[in-house]
C-alpha cells in the first residue's frame, strides 16, 4: 500500500479522493471518518458530516481545516464533500452487476463470500478492495485450521527450565488484527478467510458468533470472548466441486452468515486487456492466442478443473523475458505446456489424463494459428 501523507504536503482547498465509514466516536459532531486520501494514509483522521456521504463509496472532498497540525497524536483533517464517484477497482475486472452488488454489500457491512472456480481472481479481488478502500489486508489460509482455536492462535512447544516442555500460544494475524481494531478504531481491517471449506465444520462453527450480529469470538489466549468492532470486514472464499481434495461443504447456517457473490473467469477480451496493461512488451496477437487457448481449456467439458488466471500471467512472464522474447512463437508451445499442462494431473503425453487433454487443446489451437 502507498505511504503516508505528511502534513506539509496537504493544503487548504485541495481536492482529493477518499472513502468514509461511520465514525465510532459517538460524542463527535462528525458522522463520518476516513483514514486515507488519494490512496495514501492520512496523517490525521479525516472527518466530515455531509448527509450525502455513502459509507464505503468513493467520493471527492475538499480540505477545509487541519486541527493541531503540530501534534502527531491529536487533531484531524476536516473536509467538505464535493461529489460521489463510481465504485472503482484498478487492475481487475468485474462484470457490472457483480460490481454493483459488491458495492452494496460493502456499504452494508455484511460478510461476503466469494464463490468461484479455482484461480478466477478471488484473492486478488479481496486484496484490491483493501487497497482501494484504505483497509489493512489480513490474509488467512483456512486450510491450516484443524481445531477451532487455530483461527486465533497456534500452540508451539518449547523446552522450559530443566528441559520440561512448555506450551505457548502464538497469535495469528487474525487475532492481532482484531486486538488492534479494538484499541485503534481509526484503522480498518479486511480479514480474508481463504479456502474456507478446507477446514472442518466443527472448526468453522467457532466463527459463527463472529459472523452474525453477536460479533464476538472466543480467544484461547485470554480464555474469554473477544468483541469484534465495526472496523473489521470479513470476506471469505471457497472453491466448489468434487475435484478438490480435503474440502468440506458449508451447511445452510454457515452459508447464511455470508452474502454470497458468484465469480467466474474473465471474458477473454477483458483478460487480454488486463494482460496488455501488465505486459506491454508482448504483441496483442500473442496475448490473444494465449488467452483464447486458456479459454478453450476452461470451457472444455472433458477437463475436471478450470485453468487459473495465474497460468496466463505466468506464460506472459516467460515470453517477455530476454531468454524468450526474441523467439516467442518458437517457444510458445513449450511455455504453454509448462504453464497450462503443469497445473493438471498426469503427463501431457498421456491423452487419457487431464494434462494430456489440455495439451491436445493447445496443439489444436496452435495448429489452427499456423
pLDDT digits (tens, 9 = 90+) for 2-24: 578 999 999 999 999 998 988 88
CA distance 140 to 321: 32
Q: How confident is the model at residue 241 (pLDDT cuts 50, 70, 90)?
A: low
pLDDT digits (tens, 9 = 90+) for 98-110: 888 888 888 788 9
Residue holding cell 522450559? Answer: 160
Which range is least confidently modeled, 109-118, 161-170, 192-201? 161-170
Determine the topology of domain 96-262 in CATH: Rossmann fold (3.40.50)
Check pLDDT > 70 for residue 221.
Answer: yes
pLDDT digits (tens, 9 = 90+) for 254-288: 889 999 999 989 999 999 999 999 999 999 999 99
**Alpha carbon distances (Å) from 254 to 26, 260, 262:** 32, 11, 17
**Contact of 193 with 237, CB cutoff 8 Å:** yes
pLDDT digits (tens, 9 = 90+) for 47-96: 999 999 988 788 999 999 999 998 887 899 999 999 988 777 777 888 88
pLDDT of residue 245: 44
- Mean pLDDT on 172-200: 91
Closest CA relative to residue 59, chosen from 19, 111, 108: 19
Q: What one-character DSSP code corresponds to residue 249?
A: P
- Mean pLDDT on 223-249: 77
Q: Report the predicted TM-score, pTM, of the whole model to 2 decimal places.
A: 0.77
CATH number of 7-84: 2.40.50
CA distance 230 to 24: 8
Q: How confident is the model at residue 176 (pLDDT cuts 50, 70, 90)?
A: very high
Closest CA relative to residue 2, chosen from 36, 34, 31, 40: 40
Q: Is 341 exposed, middle or buried (0-12, 13-18, 19+ CB in 10 A)?
A: buried
pLDDT of residue 134: 78
pLDDT digits (tens, 9 = 90+) for 117-156: 888 889 999 998 888 777 899 999 998 888 888 999 887 7
Amino acid at each position: 500500500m502507498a505511504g503516508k501523507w505528511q502534513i506539509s504536503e496537504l493544503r487548504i482547498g485541495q481536492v482529493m479522493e477518499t472513502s468514509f465509514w461511520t465514525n465510532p466516536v459517538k460524542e463527535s459532531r462528525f458522522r463520518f471518518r476516513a483514514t486515507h486520501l488519494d490512496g495514501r494514509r492520512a496523517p490525521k483522521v479525516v472527518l466530515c458530516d455531509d448527509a450525502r456521504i455513502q459509507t464505503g463509496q468513493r467520493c471527492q472532498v475538499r480540505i477545509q481545516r487541519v486541527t493541531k497540525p503540530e501534534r502527531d497524536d491529536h487533531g484531524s483533517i476536516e473536509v467538505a464533500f464535493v461529489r460521489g464517484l463510481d465504485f472503482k477497482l484498478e487492475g481487475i475486472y468485474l462484470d457490472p452487476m457483480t460490481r454493483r452488488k459488491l458495492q452494496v454489500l460493502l456499504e452494508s457491512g455484511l460478510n461476503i463470500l466469494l464463490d468461484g472456480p479455482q484461480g478466477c481472481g478471488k484473492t486478488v479481488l479481496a486484496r484490491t478492495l483493501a487497497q482501494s478502500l484504505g483497509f489493512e489486508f489480513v490474509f488467512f489460509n483456512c486450510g491450516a485450521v484443524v481445531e477451532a482455536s487455530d483461527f486465533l492462535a497456534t500452540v508451539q512447544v518449547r523446552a522450559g527450565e530443566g528441559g520440561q516442555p512448555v506450551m505457548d500460544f502464538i497469535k495469528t494475524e487474525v487475532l492481532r488484527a482484531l486486538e488492534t481494531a479494538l484499541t485503534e478504531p481509526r484503522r480498518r481491517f479486511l480479514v480474508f478467510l481463504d479456502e474456507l471449506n478446507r477446514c472442518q465444520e466443527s472448526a468453522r462453527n467457532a466463527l459463527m458468533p463472529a459472523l452474525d450480529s453477536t460479533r464476538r469470538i472466543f480467544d484461547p489466549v485470554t480464555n474469554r470472548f473477544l468483541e469484534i468492532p465495526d472496523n473489521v470486514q470479513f470476506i471469505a472464499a471457497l472453491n466448489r466441486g468434487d475435484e478438490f481434495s480435503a474440502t468440506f461443504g458449508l451447511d445452510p447456517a454457515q452459508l447464511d452468515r455470508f452474502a454470497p457473490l458468484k465469480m467466474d473467469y474473465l471474458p477473454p477480451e477483458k483478460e487480454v486487456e488486463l494482460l496488455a496493461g501488465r505486459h506491454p512488451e508482448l504483441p496483442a496477437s500473442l496475448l490473444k492466442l494465449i488467452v483464447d487457448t486458456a479459454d478453450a481449456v476452461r470451457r472444455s467439458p472433458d477437463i475436471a478443473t478450470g485453468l487459473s488466471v495465474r497460468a496466463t500471467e505466468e506464460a506472459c512472464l516467460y515470453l517477455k523475458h530476454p531468454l524468450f522474447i526474441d523467439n516467442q512463437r518458437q517457444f510458445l508451445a513449450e511455455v504453454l505446456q509448462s504453464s497450462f499442462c503443469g497445473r493438471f494431473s498426469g503427463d501431457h503425453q498421456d491423452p487419457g489424463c487431464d494434462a494430456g487433454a489440455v495439451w491436445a487443446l493447445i496443439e489444436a489451437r496452435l495448429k489452427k494459428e499456423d
